[in-house]
Structure 1
């Protein structure tokens, strides 16, 4: 199973990113573009999910994993907001059954932010890393540096046994708060939800969903192929100016993208044939 390629999930990712809480006034200073070199089809933020368990028990506690954000450019990338997409095989997982938190930093006293999930038209769950009140203005990743974001995930009691694929798109929000760029996309992270009956937990490790990208603690992550969402190479290969308008306000986001950017993407794909 792969990340959704449905237009509805893609548009929901963009509209949710557009709905991020307004930036505080001190954060509105000019920022660098955080864009890939001209002609490159690679995303400027290499993104990798790693370290997560293969099984979550419904009604169990939080389990941790990490989202590594690597800046491959020569400039600092600010206002970086990951957007997590969950796709369950049975299409029955509800947003309220998933409890996801992320940490702005590591160390004692680090604040955990909850992630609110919305449902797409194809029954995918989509959630933006934001706190909703402007207190979190996004991650800042220095040139050539990696920020490792700790994430905690728990599944509520009552969720049915199911196989799930998690992945993340990464959006850099513009200074004006009403626009942004798609700057990264992660690998797939597969896991299984089981109910409280311990007998459902597979005893044979070969029966568990595997993450081929997971590496031992301390190992250097290998580059992850970017896949899953529609036309990532085309979006990443365009400059910020040509991608402006992909993100609108929350109220008009879906309509704007469906009538504007959606048509643009289809036209670009046809020209490439």
Structure 2
């Protein structure tokens, strides 16, 4: 397995992490550590035995290289956005998005983002987060692996998935969701980012890297303090969907109260007149 690294300024991820990410994206069972390899080198590793040997050459092997217009840039501009700043240990899924923008004039195929989670306490285990990504309307689980640098990495992939395709000049938004179980240590600050790999047979090309997405894992009591903050985005989403039952109920409530009030007033007047005549 070979991972080609492009000369871009100050990558947030280490070569060891990127090599592991590319190995996972290319379906390699394991990969040795490369923490001592200088950045922006062409990394080659002895080819480990793949988890499964395909009967034919995969389609991704012939995928054209997703080349950047400028040698100093990645071909895919990558951004994480829309995620909450806190996750409650033992709470439900929270969603966020990963934008992949193709800055080239060619279609980028066989694209596999690899999510990297790094926690300050270095105690976050593969059993704590539950990460899933959406291909269309269906979520797929992401298997997480722990690296020698105490990072959790997971490739967005599932059986039969050829990878994402991003048309030239277009942005593809990948939805993800994350939950953290109650066994996770709290509080604990976590940084998530994405190393984007183009799968090309047994090779991986590093074609994008996202910004940092920072959040904190909190216990239930601390997490409840953010309820009002989280309710506001929900209200915005409801507003975007147009009139709802709740909207109609709020709109009709004053009219209903007015009608009831008028009815009670009329009944009161009738009783008064009946009692005095």
TM value normalised by structure 2: 0.64
Separation in structure 2 between the aligned mates of residue 66 and residue 28 of structure 1, nearest angstrom: 25
| Contact map agreement 2:109 2:166 (CA 8 A) in 1 | yes
Q: Using the TM superposition, give the Cα deviation of residue 34 of structure 1 relative to its aligned residue in structure 2, in angstroms.
A: 1.4
Separation in structure 2 between the aligned mates of residue 154 and residue 18 of structure 1, nearest angstrom: 26
Q: Using the TM superposition, give the Cα deviation of residue 25 of structure 1 relative to its aligned residue in structure 2, in angstroms.
A: 6.5
Alignment of 1:191 with 2:223, yes or no, is no
| Contact map agreement 1:194 1:201 (CA 8 A) in 2 | no
The residue correspondences of 1:1-273 to structure 2 (distance < 5 A) are 5-19=13-27, 27=59, 30-37=62-69, 39-105=70-136, 110-131=137-158, 133=159, 135-161=160-186, 162-174=188-200, 177-198=201-222, 201=225
Higher helix fraction (1 or 2): 2
Question: Does the residue aligned with 2:23 lie in a helix, a strand or coil?
Answer: helix
For residues 88 and 24 of structure 1, do their structure 2 counterparts lie closer, same or farther at Cα, with a shift above 3 Å needed?
Answer: farther
- RCO (CA 8 Å, sep 6+): is it higher in 1 or 2? 1
For residues 33 and 160 of structure 1, do their structure 2 counterparts lie closer, same or farther at Cα, with a shift above 3 Å needed?
Answer: same
Over the residues paired in the alignment, what is the CA RMSD in angstroms?
2.8
Q: Using the TM superposition, give the Cα deviation of residue 113 of structure 1 relative to its aligned residue in structure 2, in angstroms.
A: 1.1
Q: Could you list the per-position Cα deviations for residues 159-191 of structure 1 after superposition, in whole angstroms to 9, with x for gaps in the alignment?
A: 1110000000000111xx211211000000000
Separation in structure 2 between the aligned mates of residue 96 and residue 170 of structure 1, nearest angstrom: 24
Question: Does the residue aligned with 1:16 lie in a helix, a strand or coil?
Answer: helix
Deviation >4 Å, runs of 4+: 2-7, 20-26, 199-205
Q: In structure 2, list runs of 5 or more residues that go unmatched.
A: 1-9, 29-51, 230-235, 238-277
| Contact map agreement 1:4 1:87 (CA 8 A) in 2 | no
Q: Could you list the per-position Cα deviations for residues 208-227 of structure 1 after superposition, in whole angstroms to 9, with x for gaps in the alignment?
A: xxxxxxxx99xxxxxxxxxx
Q: How many residues align?
A: 197
Separation in structure 2 between the aligned mates of residue 23 and residue 88 of structure 1, nearest angstrom: 40
Q: In structure 1, list runs of 5 or more residues that go unmatched.
A: 206-215, 218-273
| Contact map agreement 1:117 1:126 (CA 8 A) in 2 | yes
TM value normalised by structure 1: 0.65
- Larger of the two Rg values belongs to structure: 2
Separation in structure 2 between the aligned mates of residue 164 and residue 124 of structure 1, nearest angstrom: 10
Separation in structure 2 between the aligned mates of residue 18 and residue 199 of structure 1, nearest angstrom: 38
Separation in structure 1 between the aligned mates of residue 139 and residue 134 of structure 2, nearest angstrom: 5
